[in-house]
């Protein structure tokens, strides 16, 4: 795969990799990233000026990719985004782009938060243990992030969006989802301080009663 790196020496913390040189709004993206890092409402004690100084971000812009953040090589952060979601000719959907950044950087904040308590080993164990429910655990973490952002007026996905999405698909396949499960989801949505271990235990509880009819 050919990369076309565009590096602005004034802001060395961010490298932008374009898979297609027709993407136009890299400067807007750059300023959004700076702004979200400096103003993230959930990151006040985690994203410090010191942390921003050490951070290096590779923004990988590629059509069709799922939005994803890679924090395994911290302080190097990989961020995959599909520019087609935000660009239409000369228009750049800054609001949507910022929302998505707030969500992705919350994964980073949680990962850097000792109270959340995630480690590579715990993550591996949970994924092995929950092989059938790996997506459920991912979904639950996303929901926990979007619940906190929602209450801070950053509306990425609503609780209903989650119900209609993963949940809706399971229901359509004939999975039985009782109201206790919805209550557990609601618990994660309303939570402000979950640990990774708690997310795993919620995922287990949610996973158990999910059975085909
Ligand atoms: Zn996410």
- Is the Cβ–Cβ distance between 42 and 148 less than 8 Å? yes
Cα–ligand 1 centroid distance for 68 (angstroms)? 7
How many A from CA of 166 to the centre of ligand 1?
Answer: 14
What span, in angstroms and rounded, lies between the C-alpha atoms of 149 and 42? 8
What's the confidence (pLDDT) of residue 179?
A: 78
Name 7's bridge partners: 15
Q: What is the mean pLDDT of each run of 10 residues along the chain (213 residues)?
A: 49 84 89 94 92 93 94 95 91 96 98 95 84 80 97 96 80 72 92 96 79 46
Domain limits, the chain: 2-112, 120-212
The pLDDT score that the predictor gives to residue 197 is 95
pLDDT of residue 213: 39
Q: What is the pTM of this model?
A: 0.89
At 117-171, the pLDDT tens digits run 999 999 888 888 766 677 888 889 999 999 999 999 999 999 999 988 877 777 7
Ligand 1 centroid, distance to 157 Cα (angstroms)? 11
9 CA to middle of ligand 1, Å? 30
Spell out the residues 6+ positions from residue 65 whose beta carbon is closer than 8 angstroms to its own: 80, 81, 82
Question: Residue 43 Cα, ligand 1 centroid: separation in angstroms?
Answer: 16
Q: Round to whole Å and give the CA distance between 37 and 48.
A: 9
Q: Is the peptide bond before 75 cis (omega within 30 degrees of 0)?
A: yes
Residue 137 CA, ligand 1 centroid: distance in Å: 11
> In the prediction, which pLDDT does 21 show?
78
């Amino acid at each position: 795969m050919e990369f076309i790196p565009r590096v602005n020496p004034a802001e060395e913390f961010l490298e932008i990799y374009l898979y297609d040189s027709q993407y136009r709004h890299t400067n807007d993206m750059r300023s959004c990233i700076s702004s979200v890092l400096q103003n993230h409402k959930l990151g006040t004690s985690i994203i410090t000026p010191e942390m921003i100084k050490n951070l290096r971000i590779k923004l990988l812009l590629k059509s069709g990719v799922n939005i994803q953040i890679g924090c395994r090589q911290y302080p190097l952060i990989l961020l995959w985004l599909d520019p087609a979601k935000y660009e239409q000719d000369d228009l750049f959907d800054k609001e949507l782009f910022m929302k998505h950044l707030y969500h992705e950087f919350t994964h980073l904040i949680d990962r850097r938060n000792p109270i959340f308590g995630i480690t590579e080993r715990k993550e591996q164990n949970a994924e092995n243990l929950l092989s059938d429910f790996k997506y459920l655990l991912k979904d639950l973490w996303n929901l926990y992030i979007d619940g906190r952002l929602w209450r801070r007026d950053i509306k990425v996905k609503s609780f209903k969006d989650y119900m209609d999405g993963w949940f809706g698909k399971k229901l359509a396949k004939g999975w039985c989802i009782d109201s206790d499960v919805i209550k557990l989801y609601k618990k994660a949505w309303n939570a402000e301080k979950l640990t990774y271990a708690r997310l795993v235990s919620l995922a287990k509880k949610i996973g158990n009663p999910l059975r085909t009819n």
